[in-house]
Amino acid sequence: MFTERHHHHVPTARERVRTEITAEITDAARRQLAEVGAAALSLRAVARELGMASSALYRYFPSRDELLTRLIIDGYDALGATAETADDPTAAPRERWLAVCRAVRAWALAHPHEYALLYGSPVPGYSAPQDTVPSASRVGVVLGRVLGDAARAGALPEAGGGALPEAGGGDDPRVVTPEAVAILGGEHPALDDAVRVRALLAWSSVYGTISFELFGHLVGSVADGDRYFDRAMTELARMMGL
């Protein structure tokens, strides 16, 4: 890995202290998340736990929303890194898909409160800014790369779906945005709109399955969570043609 040595910035003492205190604040906020949930997260309570004056904490996070945004970005990044680490580009497409899905589920089960912050109920009065988007897309990028690699390796069936029948007018038959096309494997003859819709359905189904399990909705329906998850993810892979 090439690294540029000449312009390496060595953090000053003040920057190091700022980084440390920011980490302490976000750790305390994550503990609050587990105890009271995102809607009840309070800067004052975080400051109290750390023995800080609220005024001192506001220098790091001027508002509850900025602290929530930091927790959300941290959560997406941790989940994204987990997915990236789980993907072995030398494995077969279906094995790659299953490995990434299992890793995402394992992270969710180990971090249920952070997962709930990302994929549970929206926090009243909070609106996520645009700068959460790159972090939020990281798992999708990994799953899309599996699909795109399969297409480029000739491992996907020829796209026979073509344009989907239109539900309601419009000039462009595509229902998937250009941004999503870029994430879901890019442009390739084997990736038409129908395949992309299936890929988007599969991507959302990964989270739907995990959410159902985490929030207790599979109780009474599923005898073995691990086996059900693997079977469900295998069905999704088959639906996409992996």
**For 142-196, what is each residue's pLDDT tens digit?**
999 999 999 999 988 876 555 555 555 445 567 889 989 999 988 898 898 889 9
In this structure, the number of other CB atoms found within 10 A of the CB of residue 82 comes to: 20
**Domain containing residue 226:** 73-240
Amino acid identity at 89:
P
The pLDDT assigned to 109 comes to 97
The enclosing domain of 89 has a CATH number of 1.10.357.10
Residue 40 counted as domain residue: yes
Domain co-membership, 45 together with 94: no
Tally of domains in the chain = 2
What confidence category does residue 238 fall into, taking pLDDT thresholds of 50, 70 and 90? very high
Average pLDDT over residues 72-87: 97
Dist CA 143 CA 96 (whole Å): 9
The CA-based dihedral angle spanning residues 134, 127, 15, 33, taken in that order and rounded to the nearest 10 degrees: -100
DSSP code per residue over 165-180: PPSS--S----S-HHH
What residues are paired with 217 via a beta bridge?
none
Residue 4 lies inside a defined structural domain of this protein: no
Other beta carbons less than 10 A from residue 204's beta carbon: 11
User: Cα-Cα-Cα-Cα dihedral of 54, 66, 112, 183, to 10°?
Assistant: -170
Percent above pLDDT 90 for the chain:
76
Residue 83 is assigned to a structural domain of this protein: yes
The CATH number of the domain holding residue 25 is 1.10.10
Question: What is the model's pLDDT at position 161?
Answer: 54
Residue 67 falls inside a structural domain: no
Tell me: pLDDT of 242 over 80: yes
Using CA atoms, how far apart are residues 239 and 156, in angstroms rounded to an integer? 11
Residues 46 and 162 in one domain: no
Q: In the predicted model, is pLDDT for residue 67 greater than 90?
A: yes
- 236 Cβ contact partners less than 8 Å away, ≥ 6 residues apart: 97, 101, 201, 202, 205, 206
Provide the pLDDT confidence category of residue 83 given band limits of 50, 70 and 90. very high
Prediction pTM value: 0.87
Residues 53 and 150 in one domain: no
127 residue type, one letter: S
Q: Averaged over 26-38, what is the pLDDT?
A: 94
Q: Which two tokens stand for residue 221?
A: 């329906």
Do 96 and 57 share a structural domain? no
